[in-house]
Structure 1
């Protein structure tokens, strides 16, 4: 079960919802990321498609988005037997991902604080 985060007003969200908000991820992106994170190792496009019960083509946009945003890693599979497009496996570097999310959340909080100071000058004067 995903960890729930409780807001001061009592609302709760899970960590995947926080990541979706922070990085602008779609529901499909979050599902793909969750499967890759749960794998605790490398996973191929075939395995991802099978786990999510979708076609490989339907997850390629999510994979590309997650790579672009730096949330997952990709390694090329070395195969001599087939020509054409290379195959890849995807994985999460937990230490890197934790550090990235923590830094991005801290940056977000700083920007929100700056914005509040601009819109609520009384706070800025009191500090």
Structure 2
């Protein structure tokens, strides 16, 4: 019994720095979002959520940039942002994506996100969509 409690305590101590880093990162993200205008905050919150999901899904995407409006303007309806002209960069290649993102009324947290990754954006279209400068 004592060894089990000791093991649990050691695991909790080992996880504390990781949780602190995660909470610190989350706090910095929230502080940054709070400084933005609500419309920009909405888009950024959805972009951040998409990036996190792509990093953790089974496909080999490692996104380093996400732009919800790269290939077309998203549309807002209440607390939902929807578009089919988003693009994200992974491994130096831009990919198109479509999405529906619902956030809290203050636009600080994403409630739900549905997305579909499309084809790679042809390199000869990067300049016309401003992707070359990102």
Report TM bin, short chain: under 0.3
The structure richer in helix per residue is 1
Question: What TM-score, normalized by structure 2, do the two folds share?
Answer: 0.25
The structure richer in strand per residue is 2
Question: What TM-score, normalized by structure 1, do the two folds share?
Answer: 0.26
